[in-house]
Amino acid sequence: MTPNNTVSTDAVLQYLQNLQSKIVEALELVDGKTFLHDSWNRPEGGGGTSCLLEGGNVFERAGVGFSHVLGNKLPPAATIAHPEAAGRAWEAMGVSLVLHPRNPYVPTVHMNIRFFVAKAPVKTDTTELISSRDLGASQGGKYESEQTAHQVRQAIENAANAGAAPKADEDIWWFGGGMDLTPYYGFEEDCTHFHRTNKSALDTFDLSYYPQFKKQCDEYFYLKHRKEPRGIGGIFFDDFNVLSFEQSFALQRAVGDSFLQAYLPILQRRKDTPYTENERDFQAYRRGRYVEFNLVFDRGTLFGLQSNGRTESILMSMPPIVKWRYDWKPEKDSPEAKLYTDFLIDREWV
């Protein structure tokens, strides 16, 4: 992580709230119906606004959620990747969306950008570092015993000797996010456009980011038990803090701001394509893969549930109509089979 950063959670918070509003307004213009706005509070700290459209003209279900949650102890989904942040007070904020169009020729899309900070412990003197969550645990905000203080100092020293500890008086922060496309009937021009837009958003920062983030997306959105990708990918990044805070935040904004440019042209091109119940049936079958991934592998879902997030908001990404079939296979050379042979493969799109 680049040193000497000034972290501005307020700037990130304002950007995310504005992004949610911008995307919802754009989608309402396309669909012709209005999103439900449901604001909520989290008892442990924070809250958010879930914007949902169900039974729309274009979207069978569309959810665009903003959340800003706080806590005193990181849930397991976060501490696995960041053991150095264990025991710290934390804040997490983000915008996450999933759009499930009615027309099976329009792909489902997912986008998420997020920011996480584990707060630096409060320094009480040159030798003791107390996490802000511990202040007030004993009268006057001091340790109840010298033994406890010694244990904390020893733990910090052991971690430092192991080379695993960050500077104890700094916030630990990172950005994450990305977007991915899940077609049911694939079109090469759509996939190329989506990936080209992703690449353009990242090339300003470093030409290596798009191939790196594309690879991470392909690896992340992979159903190991099915041995197949969820869709045609996009970009995915997590634990990103290799640039300064300002530059990392700028990269996140570039990704968030490019979403409508990446998806709306595809939506407009396919939303009026004629279809039959056969195509709808295949769409419902493939949506099952979406459900399997979200409930088994998705880190955001697991983090939300483990941190006592709002269940309705966490699960609003789920498609409204889903089907499973036992050992079903598409007919050879059919449009459904083409999805597997031409699109759900390891492939470079730009």
- For residue 226, being part of any structural domain is answered with yes
pLDDT at res. 153: 39
Residues 139 and 228 grouped into a single domain:
no
Domain count, the chain: 2
pLDDT at res. 79: 62
pLDDT in tens, 58-70: 999 999 999 999 8
Residues 92 and 129 grouped into a single domain:
no
Residues 111 and 175 grouped into a single domain:
yes
Instruction: Check residues 83 and 76 and name the one with the higher pLDDT.
Output: 83
Domain hosting 133: range is 123-161
Residues 202 and 132 grouped into a single domain:
no
Residue among 112, 327, 350, 125 nearest 237 (CA)? 112
Domain endpoint, select from 161, 188, 222: 161
Q: Which amino acid is at 61?
A: R
Q: Say if residue 262's pLDDT is above 80.
A: yes
- For residue 4, being part of any structural domain is answered with no
Domain endpoint, select from 138, 161, 184: 161
> Mean pLDDT across the stretch 255-282?
98
Do 179 and 259 contact (CB within 8 A), yes or no? yes
Domain endpoint, select from 161, 189, 212: 161
Q: Say if residue 285's pLDDT is above 60.
A: yes
pLDDT at res. 114: 95
pLDDT at res. 167: 60
Neighbours of 41 (CB within 10 A): 10
Phi, psi of 322 (to 5 degrees): -140, 150
Residues 230 and 319 grouped into a single domain:
yes
Q: Say if residue 279's pLDDT is above 70.
A: yes
pLDDT in tens, 84-131: 777 788 899 999 999 999 999 999 999 999 999 988 776 654 444 444
- For residue 350, being part of any structural domain is answered with no
- For residue 3, being part of any structural domain is answered with no
Instruction: Check residues 76 and 263 and name the one with the higher pLDDT.
Output: 263
pLDDT at res. 148: 37
Instruction: Check residues 80 and 135 and name the one with the higher pLDDT.
Output: 80
Residues 71 and 132 grouped into a single domain:
no
Residues 102 and 183 grouped into a single domain:
yes
Residues 302 and 203 grouped into a single domain:
yes
The CATH number of the domain where 324 resides is what?
3.40.1500.10
pLDDT in tens, 201-258: 999 999 999 999 999 999 999 999 999 999 999 999 999 999 999 999 999 999 999 9
Residues 236 and 319 grouped into a single domain:
yes
Instruction: Check residues 143 and 107 and name the one with the higher pLDDT.
Output: 107
Residues 147 and 282 grouped into a single domain:
no
Do 180 and 229 contact (CB within 8 A), yes or no? no
> Mean pLDDT across the stretch 303-322?
84
Q: What is the mean pLDDT of the chain?
A: 85
- For residue 1, being part of any structural domain is answered with no
Residues 143 and 13 grouped into a single domain:
no
pLDDT at res. 5: 66
The one catalytic residue among 110, 150, 195, 225: 110
Range 122-125 contact pairs with CB under 8 angstroms and sequence separation of 24 or more: 123/169
Percent of the chain scored above 70 by pLDDT?
Answer: 83
In DSSP notation, 74-114 reads: --HHHHTT-GGGTT--EEEEEEEEEEEESSTTSPEEEEEEE
pLDDT in tens, 158-207: 433 433 445 666 788 999 999 999 999 999 999 999 999 999 999 999 99
pLDDT at res. 71: 85
Specify whether 110 is catalytic.
yes
- For residue 145, being part of any structural domain is answered with yes
- For residue 335, being part of any structural domain is answered with yes
Residues 260 and 128 grouped into a single domain:
no
Neighbours of 253 (CB within 10 A): 18
- For residue 285, being part of any structural domain is answered with yes
Do 120 and 170 contact (CB within 8 A), yes or no? yes
